[in-house]
Structure 1
Amino acid sequence: MGRGTWSWIVPDGLWEIAKPLIPPSRVRPQGGGTQDTPDETLFAAIIYVLVSGCAWRALPPCFGISKSTAHRRFLIWSRAGVWGRLHEAVLHQLDDASLIDVTRVVLDTAHVRAKKGANTQVRAPWTGASRVPGCTSCRTPTDCPSSSASRRVTPTTAKD
């Protein structure tokens, strides 16, 4: 695919790594239906959406597939673990070619499930409202004209 139709979106060699990882399409037991879209085209469309960050509904018509087909196949491949295995395969290939240094690695908890969590929940300290002046220009509550402590009873406020 690197030099093929979708080389503008799929980097050289990525399709060759991904092709054996993609599960075969299921054949409908009742037969019929439409002709299956090539996995190469679907892969390029999914990579386009993932790289560009566009919504599935904004998938360009140049791929020749519907947004629902691309999204459905993305979900099927995700459930089959294609993306995790593809990530590992790319890392192994980079390591074999000495293009990656794994002596310093950062572990991201978004990819590693915590098998055992904390036994008790820790409550956050109470952060209730504190008594502060009603405005930022006054040093004390009594100096603040908006503070109830500074209000003097006058003929106009006595009726309130």
Structure 2
Amino acid sequence: MGCVGCSGVSGRNPQPWLVDDELWWRIEPLLPTAPPGHRRPGRKRALEDRKVLCGILFVLYTGIQWEWLPQELGFGSGMTCWRRLRDWNNAGVWQRLHEMLLDELRATGRLDLSRAVIDSPRSGTQGRPKTGRSPVDRGRPGSKHHVICDATGIPLAVTLTGGNRNDVTQLMPLLAAIPRIRGRRGRPRQRPKEVYADRGYDHDCYRRQVWAKGIKPVIARRGTAHGSGLGTRRWVIEQTIALLHWFGRLRIRWETRDDIHEAFLKLACSLICWRRLRTTLR
């Protein structure tokens, strides 16, 4: 069976939405079980869930509309996949999957919390919750993906706001959204030693708040010339954003409900982590 996590970006895997056994082994215990006494005719629910997950990933990768999901693929209807994505997100499945994979990455020595990098790319959309008129794109409505990654580009957390929100307003929420990462003996890690950001985060009051959390802010100053050297360490966030926006459903926000778009964001972060982890496990 095809593999969700390996080589999707490079195109070497023609069907990256097919879930392999290793990834399914991690996801299946996180899924909520059917209520007691609830009868489901036909195949076992575990198999159904796996097929539906493939349908969700097909939509995430291709950006196709839910109602256009090809029935011949055997993934169920688009509405079935949408409902299951909603229910699993409400149950916290994607957040727990992301945290589990971060734990495994730290256990294998792939996670580098010596510094974190932050940025806020824009995603085009129409008038929907958590959207706003962008001040840098001729007032077009849109949303922003606020992303923070480790020193190697592994996504640690992501949030969604309207396109009119100032980037710096999400600096502290993103730092707070980093989960307690286990995987090694001792206390879980949640705070990087440093956080790097561009000029959009240049506010002294926020620098003081970052210092108060025990994190050193390394933020470019407004009005200074380019070539400060910070870009040699900030470039990894551009790589992470490019990987996120390689998923067709994240380049443009089609979802009316913000929780569905946020579910796709968390799921995409988990898939990026899974790719990194697979290269270690091989």
Please tell me the TM-score bracket, short chain as reference.
0.5 to 0.7
1:71 paired to 2:82: yes
Of residues 62, 80, 99, the one that matches 2:110 is 99
Structure 2 residue aligned with 1:88, among 99, 108, 116? 99
User: Could you say which residue in structure 2 is the equivalent of 1:58?
Assistant: 68
Residues 70 and 94 of structure 1: CA distance in aligned 2, closer, same or farther (over 3 Å):
same
User: For residue 147 of structure 1, what is the aligned residue in structure 2?
Assistant: none
Secondary structure, aligned partner of 1:110? strand
Work out which structure has the larger RCO, using CA pairs closer than 8 Å and 6 or more positions apart in sequence.
2
C-alpha distance after superposition, 1:70-111 (max 9, x if no partner): 111111101111111111111111221222323222353627
SS of residue paired to 2:116: coil
Does structure 2 conserve the Cα–Cα contact (< 8 Å) formed by 1:57 and 1:67? yes
- TM-score normalized by structure 2? 0.33
* CA RMSD, Structure 1 to Structure 2 (Å): 3.2
Which has the larger displacement, 63-72 or 9-18? 9-18
Q: What is residue 26 of structure 2 aligned with on the other side?
A: 17
If the length of structure 1 is used for normalisation, what is the TM-score?
Answer: 0.55
String of CA shifts for 1:103-126, please: whole Å, max 9, x gaps: 2223536274899xxxxxxxxxxx
For residues 40-86 of structure 1, the C-alpha deviation after alignment (integer angstroms, 9 at most, x for no partner) is: 11111112212222221122221241111111111110111111111
* Count of matched residue positions in the alignment of Structure 1 and Structure 2: 110
Amino acid at match of 2:52: L
**Inter-CA distance 114–17: structure 2 relative to 1 (3 Å threshold):** closer
For residues 45 and 27 of structure 1, the distance between their equivalents in structure 2, rounded to whole angstroms, comes to: 26
Q: 1:110 to 1:72 in 2, by over 3 A?
A: same
Cα distance change of structure 1 residues 24 and 100 upon mapping to structure 2, 3 Å threshold: same
SS of aligned partner of 2:33: coil
Superposed, which structure 2 residues align to 1:37-52 within 5 Å?
Answer: 38-52=48-62
CA gap of 1:45–1:85, structure 2 versus 1, over 3 A, is same
Structure 1 residues 65 and 92, CA, compared in 2 at 3 Å: closer, same or farther?
A: same
Q: Which has the larger radius of gyration?
A: 1
Matched, 1:110 2:119: no
* Corresponding residue SS for 1:86: helix
Q: Which of the pair is proportionally richer in strand?
A: 2
**Which whole-Å CA distance do the structure 1 matches of 2:20 and 2:111 have between them?**
17
Q: Percent identity?
A: 32
Quote how far apart the aligned CAs of 1:28 are: 6.5
